[in-house]
Amino acid sequence: MARGKRRRQTKPSSAPDDDRPDVLEKADMWNERFSKYYKAQNIIPEEEWDKFMDRLREPLPTTFRVAGSREIAHSLNSTIETNYVSQLTGATFEGETVPPPAKIPWYPDGLAWQFNVSKKVLRKQPEFRKFHSFLVYETEVGNISRQEAVSMIPPLLLDVEPHHKVIDMCAAPGSKTAQLLEALHARDTATATSTPPGLLIANDSESKRAHLLIHQSARLPSPAFMVTNLDASIYPIMRLPNSTSTTRGKVKNQLLFDRILCDVPCSGDGTLRKNIGIWKKWQPMDGNGLHGLQIRILQRAMRMLEDDGRIVYSTCSLNPVENEAVIAAALNSNPEFELIDVYDRLQELVRRPGIATWKPTVDRNIDTSFATWADYVASLEGKQPAAKMAETHWPPANAEELGLPKCLRIYPHLQDTGGFFVAVLQKKGTSKASAGTSERKRPADEVADANPENDAKKAKFDGEGEDDATAADVTMLDSSEQTNADGDAAAQPAAPSKSNTTAQPRKVFDTGFRESPYTFLSPDDPAIKQCMEQLFLDPSFPSSNVLVRSPSGETVRSLYLTNDIVHAVVAANDYTRIRLLTCGTKAITRQEASKGIAAQFRILGEGLPVVLPYTRPDTILEADAAALKILLSVYYPLSSSFGEPFRSAVDARETGSHIVRFPASSEINLTHDLLVPLWKSNVSISMMIDKKAKSALSLRLFGEDITVAAREAAQKNRGARGNVPAAAEPAPEVTAEQAEVEPDGEEQTNADDDTIIDDTINDEHSKQNS
Ligand SMILES: C[S@@+](CC[C@H](N)C(=O)[O-])C[C@H]1O[C@@H](n2cnc3c(N)ncnc32)[C@H](O)[C@@H]1O
């Protein structure tokens, strides 16, 4: 049976290559210090210890979440249930039954799944191989998110609503960010993106990882999204313009957040089942060393929270020093906060309560003999304590009063998951999940804190006196110390103003920051007018929220759409100070002039859901399943390849960007209308979505990949295997003129190149502390 198949075993000398990742030397899955440390913490009952350790040595099941808008998610979920689970039920491999995917019992609406098969089964068992291709392609287009089950918990407990201002303090690579973005977009339909009134800022201090967030978010384009690249422990104050401010922070017009996720960097020992290298490397001083940063990030979040807001703190570590000790220290330094009891949430999730006693080790050999910090200091007889030890590593005297059992501890042996810790915090006296901004009077201690004399003692981040982090809370970092991607400190010119833009020139704070400026176009900018005309956009198009990424806005190439609050934040803050990597969604691009066609704007594949609500409905072309099949299987079909009435409708159009609708049809398993951008050249048309999206669509609708890319890949594979190629595939009819616009995205892939089990993008802890 499958569990036995997945158990890691000593590697037999004849093990085939494709089994290697599942096979480990037994000695690699033992760490004396780990066992000694966690036995001392008494977090696992004695009678469960062996089960706990055994489960840690087993590979983690593959888990995924059905993502995207509610409508799309539910229809894809029923495809999984009806098409795949039924086919996979009773599947066998090498004489043994392989269990089909099963729903994760506690995930809302049954939208998360898990399955437990080896790579060998995925590659060689025909039904699983097909399911695997489906998962790879749907992941590529953002309809499925491969994510560890426990990692799905924090966003669920944050209860994000479309009007919330949300920040994900340590967001990369972004699996939780994607969940938060989906919650913000809960009102999206199957075809169109809503424009939520709220905002999500995803932040990560590591530049390369922060760029991953941009890649990830392209899967769910949002006008409400921003990415910043800052140290979360000293996250600067952001302002809102006077007219937009709905908040009453200590600093005038400060942007405060309704929801904050602190999924902090941690030792990651809860991911042992996935990151097996941790068995060798684990040592307790890593957790001791991260404890201070973890506290500072949480304290910073507390200062950025709206009165009735909510913070979720999480780690994938089992170590109380990174968990309860951090919560206790943060609560004691901010007594206006409390833990929320979430025991009534996600009821089928088996969890254990947080603990109020633990024993930090003062060295790597697991010396947990000191009951208190005072005992430890006394033992030093005047010598300096070890650098990594602080009083907050120990349980505080008031640990029992802090309600630490309200935290959630997830252990691998309880429900076949990774290990995880989650705590939910709010300000005292505020309701659990209240929505909107608060009219509650600020507590007296906060009013006292707002005293300018107190502020004078506050540490400064950017020299403007904007940061309200106390010196005790933060490690100071001069902006010049913040590294940019290139480590280069070349000066960036300030964004010059231009008559037709709304951007004002501002001081450049971080001269090492090399991103291009964000310039909002004036609503009557000629480029916007031209774009609205060419793309048949309705006057309701939010032309005041269109930005370009160029110093003065004169080279209008790609147009980004934002919502009002993102516009307000960009307008009121210097983008270099907040190290803004992206904001809004890239929706439209200018197609440079080519033979016979003047430069024109076109809608990007990923931008269509955002632009669609503003497109005049009478300008959308209608087509049928036969036309879709041609558009998927040929790169640049001639209009004469299509049947009527689509053919005449296309012929009647000008060259340029158009939108086509394929109505829902049970004939091809199309549960909702499908809308895609088209490009019409002089003689042909092409569908402007990337190759992977085409393959995903083809698999979903026709049960096979009929795309040119798949045929080419199959031919290449046959060639590589030295087989005589099958009869030549019909070559698409392409001329140089037809090929003037490439469908979005250049990547060409074969489902077999990519393994859902090995999704390194989502391997959130492998590099987090690098
Ligand atoms: C646990 S991972 C986050 C995983 C992410 N939330 C997800 O679900 O995909 C922690 C992240 O914190 C980032 N990080 C480390 N120190 C940081 C700091 N001082 N400020 C902000 N981010 C930090 C790391 O680069 C890493 O990406």
Q: Which residues of 468-491 are buried (b: 16+ CB within 10 A; e: fewer)?
A: bbbeebbeeeebeebebbeeeeee
Residues 651-686: tens digit of each pLDDT: 999 989 999 999 988 888 788 899 999 999 888 999
CA of 33 to the centre of ligand 1 (A): 26
Q: Exposure of 568 by Cβ count < 10 A (0-12 exposed, 13-18 middle, 19+ buried)?
A: buried
Closest protein CA for atom 15 of ligand 1? 265
pLDDT of residue 619: 95
Query: Is residue 736 scored above 80 in pLDDT?
Result: no
Query: Is residue 450 scored above 80 in pLDDT?
Result: no
Cβ-based neighbour number of residue 449 at 10 Å: 17
Residues 576-604: tens digit of each pLDDT: 999 999 999 999 998 876 666 677 899 99
Closest protein CA for atom 1 of ligand 1? 265
CA of 195 to the centre of ligand 1 (A): 27
pLDDT of residue 243: 59
Put the strands of the sheet holding 585-591 in their side by side order.
519-520, 546-548, 558-561, 585-591, 600-603
Greatest mean pLDDT among 387-396, 492-501, 586-595, 743-752: 387-396
**173 belongs to an annotated ligand binding site:** yes
Compute the CA torsion angle 584, 213, 262, 354 (nearest 10 deg).
Answer: 130
d(C-alpha 232, C-alpha 764), whole Å: 17
Cβ-Cβ contacts under 8 Å for 726 (sequence gap 6 or more): 715, 718
Q: Is residue 498 a contact partner of residue 552, using CB atoms and an 8 Å limit?
A: yes
Active site residue 316: yes
**204 belongs to an annotated ligand binding site:** yes
Q: Is residue 540 a contact partner of residue 614, using CB atoms and an 8 Å limit?
A: yes
Residues 518-568: tens digit of each pLDDT: 999 999 999 999 999 999 999 999 999 999 997 665 667 899 999 999 999
Please give the structure tokens belonging to residue 551.
């110093």
**443 belongs to an annotated ligand binding site:** no
Please give the structure tokens belonging to residue 734.
């392409």
Residues 465-482: tens digit of each pLDDT: 233 333 223 222 222 223
Closest protein CA for atom 13 of ligand 1? 170
Q: Exposure of 723 by Cβ count < 10 A (0-12 exposed, 13-18 middle, 19+ buried)?
A: exposed
Confidence bin at 363 (pLDDT 50/70/90):
very high
Cα 324 to the center of its chain, rounded Å: 26
- 8-state DSSP, 408: E
CA of 264 to the centre of ligand 1 (A): 6
pLDDT of residue 726: 38
Q: Exposure of 272 by Cβ count < 10 A (0-12 exposed, 13-18 middle, 19+ buried)?
A: buried
Query: Is residue 15 scored above 60 in pLDDT?
Result: no
Query: Is residue 168 scored above 50 in pLDDT?
Result: yes
User: Residue 233 — left, alpha, or beta (φ > 0 → left; ψ -120 to 50 → alpha)?
Assistant: alpha
pLDDT of residue 300: 98
Query: Is residue 18 scored above 70 in pLDDT?
Result: no
Query: Is residue 43 scored above 50 in pLDDT?
Result: yes
Cβ-Cβ contacts under 8 Å for 390 (sequence gap 6 or more): 291, 292, 373
Closest protein CA for atom 18 of ligand 1? 231
pLDDT of residue 753: 33
Confidence bin at 510 (pLDDT 50/70/90):
confident
Pocket test for ligand 1, best of 145, 148, 169, 170 (most atoms within 8 A of CB): 170
pLDDT of residue 367: 94
Pocket test for ligand 1, best of 148, 206, 579 (most atoms within 8 A of CB): 206
Please give the structure tokens belonging to residue 422.
């989650």
Helix (H, G, I), strand (E, B) or coil at 82: helix
Question: Which among 63, 24, 19, 20 has a CA at the least distance from the CA of 762?
Answer: 63
> What values do phi and psi take at 537, rounded to 5?
-90, 145
CA of 769 to the centre of ligand 1 (A): 8
d(C-alpha 245, C-alpha 302), whole Å: 19
Confidence bin at 711 (pLDDT 50/70/90):
confident
Closest protein CA for atom 17 of ligand 1? 205
Higher pLDDT, 214 or 489: 214
The residues facing 560 across adjacent strands are 547, 586
Mean pLDDT of 78-94: 91
d(C-alpha 375, C-alpha 378), whole Å: 5
Pocket test for ligand 1, best of 65, 176, 204 (most atoms within 8 A of CB): 204
Mean pLDDT of 203-210: 96
Cα 370 to the center of its chain, rounded Å: 41
**423 belongs to an annotated ligand binding site:** no
**598 belongs to an annotated ligand binding site:** no
pLDDT of residue 437: 32
Helices (H) and strands (E) in the chain, counts: 24, 25
Pocket test for ligand 1, best of 322, 759, 767, 768 (most atoms within 8 A of CB): 768
pLDDT of residue 720: 66
Query: Is residue 211 scored above 80 in pLDDT?
Result: yes
Compute the CA torsion angle 392, 393, 397, 398 (nearest 10 deg).
Answer: 70
What are the DSSP E strand ranges found in 204-322? 225-228, 257-263, 305-315
Cβ-based neighbour number of residue 371 at 10 Å: 12
pTM for the structure as a whole: 0.83
pLDDT of residue 485: 27
Ligand 1 atom at shortest distance from the alpha carbon of 169:
21
* Domain ranges across the chain: 62-146, 151-170+232-427, 519-578+585-609, 620-717
Residues 299-330: tens digit of each pLDDT: 999 999 999 999 999 999 999 999 999 999 99
Confidence bin at 121 (pLDDT 50/70/90):
very high
Which residues surround ligand 1 with Cβ inside 6 Å? 151, 170-176, 203-206, 209, 231-233, 263, 265, 293, 764-765, 768
Query: Is residue 729 scored above 90 in pLDDT?
Result: no
Q: Do the strands 199-203 and 225-228 form a parallel or antiparallel pair, or are they unpaired? A: parallel
pLDDT of residue 669: 78
Catalytic residue among 262, 316, 407, 583: 316
CA of 420 to the centre of ligand 1 (A): 15
Query: Is residue 386 scored above 50 in pLDDT?
Result: yes
Higher pLDDT, 24 or 242: 242
Cβ-Cβ contacts under 8 Å for 547 (sequence gap 6 or more): 518, 519, 520, 521, 559, 560, 562, 567, 570, 583, 584
pLDDT of residue 216: 78
**175 belongs to an annotated ligand binding site:** yes
**171 belongs to an annotated ligand binding site:** yes
Confidence bin at 1 (pLDDT 50/70/90):
very low
Compute the CA torsion angle 168, 260, 327, 288 (nearest 10 deg).
Answer: 10
d(C-alpha 770, C-alpha 751), whole Å: 31
Query: Is residue 194 scored above 50 in pLDDT?
Result: yes
Query: Is residue 64 scored above 80 in pLDDT?
Result: yes
CA of 484 to the centre of ligand 1 (A): 17
Question: Which among 224, 229, 317 has a CA at the least distance from the CA of 275?
Answer: 317
CA of 209 to the centre of ligand 1 (A): 8
Higher pLDDT, 663 or 450: 663
Ligand 1 atom at shortest distance from the alpha carbon of 762:
9
d(C-alpha 523, C-alpha 272), whole Å: 53
Name the CATH topology of 151-170+232-427: Rossmann fold (3.40.50)
